[in-house]
């Protein structure tokens, strides 16, 4: 009888996972089938747990690198996870878009109508956030606390950890883009299209929920022996759970009604769990600085070879500090492609370049002058990896993500070299040091903040140079500890995602390009007040309880 019920439940679960409400593009709930699966899970062994839940649980990590968010214009940059991060990168102080001219009609770089209620791109960020929460809630509908209490399965703990973390990440993404210091999100903790519509919770209640869910995920992962380091299978990690906790706590500090000291402690504890895990280490100079690996002669012209495998930023196997990321087989590279000279056009602004100490090896990834040995770049063509269109290498170009021969590839035809086949480290150890130093600086422990920063600076000191510190770093004289953290965040995390936008929004720092000699629009000032998106009109019209941002 149990076997028959098991088979029936498997069939019904498959139907549940594939059926679709055409209007909402979501799976309609079926409480009877959910209960049948829960009944089996209460006493299921590991093999049965995996048979019942693996498909749904394995579907959660891909949401972090998903696409199809813009339902109006599929070609829009914001239609994918990497496009959304790239869009955020474009509107900042430190990244210049375009080689020898500003790309035509680039609304992101010029700051045109990016966050209004009727913007064509605003819903994309909403769809990404709540696509994740809905997917997580489907799993949590089945793996309830009561099921967990009755079944000690390690797999069950990992699966529910994935769901809690994905829900937390989705709500954090929503709060970072649509939340204010007062207003949070409408909280839904189950997937049920018939459940009552919810008003927006307070910012603090939303962030408290995120911290609770991510903490539960961290506890589940610890019990399931999930590690802190990024895996070559792009699975979720404790590095990511603690990243979400720390980010949510730093946002909560500014929330209305928050006790700042409580959330500073939560953020620092999350950072320390990662730092003290013993599983992550700083990249070496060889791993951090991308370098030319040789040349190849095409049509009598010597052209450079940059291998993805030589860079820690493009190859997780060479990155000992990657706490979460995507292997190239699982949607890697992503946003880093925008800064790859072979295809991308992101460059560094001169104002930040000039602040990087000459003894800091990170500066070797940025180049003020055009390269003398290859002033012209040849893009991929039909017959070779570099026999297509050509363009001149610009000033202030970046080799941090440079590659024209992808992972597992070789110099040759375009489909042999596979330019851009690279991994992507979304979360790194260095950011935990930066967040910890920020907490220390903002709580008055400036000496401790400098000590924490000094560990990062020592790791980034070029070979043969005197060890860099907060006291001898060129360009940091006279800065407060917090300003030092802010500068080092810009240098360390350049081009890796939406860090500058997210930090500027949280630190109340506007985009201000005045004084730049590289930006195409050096008079642009974009205020922090416009960095918070309006709730999409589709949500306001379907949920009358939802309150629009001011």
How far from chain centre, in Å, is Cα 130?
A: 16
DSSP per position, 61-118: GGGGG-B---SS-TTSGGGBHHHHHHHHHHSSSSEEE-SSSPPTT-HHHHT-S-SSTT
Predicted pLDDT of residue 384:
65
Q: Report which secondary-structure segment, H or E, holds 52.
A: helix 46-58
Residues 284, 286, 287: CA angle, nearest 5 degrees: 65
Q: Residue 344: is its pLDDT beyond 80?
A: yes
Segment 152-201, tens digit of pLDDT: 999 999 999 999 999 999 999 999 999 999 999 999 999 998 899 999 99
Structure tokens, 88 = 């955020």
Model confidence band, residue 373 (pLDDT cutoffs 50, 70, 90): confident
User: Taking a C-beta distance cutoff of 8 angstroms, is the pair 96, 520 a contact?
Assistant: yes
DSSP bridge partners of 377: 391
Q: How many CA atoms lie within 13 A of 433 on its CB side?
A: 23
Instruction: Taking the CA atoms of 158, 160, 161 and 163 in sequence, report the sign of the dihedral they define.
Output: positive
Q: What is the DSSP letter of 1?
A: -
Query: 11 — phi, psi (to 5°)?
Result: -65, -45
Our measurement of the distance from residue 1's CA atom to the centroid of its chain's CA atoms, rounded to an integer in Å, reads 47
Q: Is beta strand 366-367 parallel, antiparallel or unpaired with respect to 511-512?
A: unpaired
The answer, yes or no, to whether residue 116 has pLDDT greater than 90, is no
Q: What is the pLDDT of residue 412?
A: 79
Q: Give the C-alpha separation, 290 to 364, whole Å.
A: 8
Q: What is the pLDDT of residues 522-542, one digit of tens each?
A: 999 999 999 999 999 889 999
Q: 126: pLDDT confidence band, cut at 50, 70 and 90? A: very high
pLDDT tens readout for residues 22-43:
333 434 444 557 888 999 999 9
Helix (H, G, I), strand (E, B) or coil at 461: strand
| Closest by Cα among 486, 474, 477 to 442 | 486
pLDDT at residue 428, as a whole number: 98
Q: Which domains does the chain have, with CATH numbers?
A: 28-69+113-279+535-542 (1.25.40.390)
Going by pLDDT thresholds of 50, 70 and 90, the confidence category of residue 389 is: confident
The Cα–Cα gap between 466 and 456 comes to 14
pTM of the model: 0.93
């Amino acid at each position: 009888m149990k076997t028959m019920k098991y088979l029936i439940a498997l069939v019904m679960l498959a139907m549940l996972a594939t059926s679709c409400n055409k209007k909402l593009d979501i799976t309609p709930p079926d409480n009877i089938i959910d209960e049948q699966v829960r009944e089996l899970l209460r006493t299921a062994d590991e093999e049965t747990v995996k048979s019942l839940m693996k498909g749904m649980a394995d579907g959660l990590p891909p949401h972090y690198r998903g696409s199809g968010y813009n339902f109006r214009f599929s070609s829009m940059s914001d239609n994918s996870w990497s496009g959304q991060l790239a869009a955020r990168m474009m509107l900042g102080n430190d990244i210049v878009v375009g080689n020898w001219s500003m790309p035509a009609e680039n609304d992101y770089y010029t700051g045109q109508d990016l966050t209004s209620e009727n913007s064509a791109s605003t819903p994309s960020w909403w769809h990404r956030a709540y696509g994740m929460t809905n997917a997580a809630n489907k799993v949590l509908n089945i793996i309830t606390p009561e099921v967990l209490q009755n079944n000690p399965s390690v797999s069950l703990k990992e699966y529910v950890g994935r769901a809690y973390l994905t829900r937390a990440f989705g709500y954090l993404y929503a709060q970072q883009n649509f939340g204010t210091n007062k207003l949070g999100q409408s909280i839904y903790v189950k997937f049920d299209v018939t459940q009552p519509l919810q008003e927006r919770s307070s910012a603090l209640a939303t962030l408290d929920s995120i911290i609770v869910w991510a903490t539960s995920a961290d506890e589940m992962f610890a019990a399931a022996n999930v590690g802190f380091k990024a895996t070559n299978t792009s699975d979720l990690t404790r590095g990511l759970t603690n990243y979400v906790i720390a980010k949510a706590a730093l946002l909560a500090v500014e929330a209305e009604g928050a006790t700042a000291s409580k959330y500073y402690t939560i953020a620092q504890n999350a950072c320390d769990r990662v730092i003290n895990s013993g599983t992550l280490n700083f990249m070496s100079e060889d791993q951090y600085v991308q370098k030319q690996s040789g040349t190849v002669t095409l049509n009598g012209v010597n052209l450079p070879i940059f291998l993805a495998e030589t860079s820690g930023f493009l190859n997780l196997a060479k990155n000992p500090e990657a706490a979460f990321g995507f292997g190239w087989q699982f949607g890697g590279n992503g946003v880093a492609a925008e800064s790859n000279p072979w295809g991308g056009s992101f460059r560094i602004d001169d104002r930040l370049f000039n602040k990087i100490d000459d003894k800091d090896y990170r500066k070797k990834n940025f180049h003020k002058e055009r390269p003398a040995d290859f002033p012209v770049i040849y893009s991929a063509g039909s017959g070779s990896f570099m026999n297509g269109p050509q363009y001149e290498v610009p000033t202030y170009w970046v080799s941090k993500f440079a590659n024209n021969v992808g992972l597992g590839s070789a110099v040759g035809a375009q489909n042999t070299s596979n330019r851009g086949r690279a991994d992507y480290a979304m979360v790194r150890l260095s950011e935990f040091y930066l967040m910890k130093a920020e907490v220390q600086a903002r709580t008055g422990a400036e000496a401790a903040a400098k000590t924490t920063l000094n560990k990062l600076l020592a790791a980034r000191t070029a070979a043969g140079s005197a060890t860099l510190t907060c006291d001898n770093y060129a360009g940091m004289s006279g800065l407060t500890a917090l300003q030092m953290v802010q500068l080092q965040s810009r240098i360390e995390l350049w081009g890796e995602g939406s860090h500058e936008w997210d930090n500027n929004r949280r630190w109340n720092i506007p985009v201000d390009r005045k004084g730049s000699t590289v930006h195409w629009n050096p008079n642009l000032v974009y205020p922090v007040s416009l960095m918070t998106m309006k709730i999409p009109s589709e949500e306001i019209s379907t949920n009358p309880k939802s309150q629009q941002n001011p």
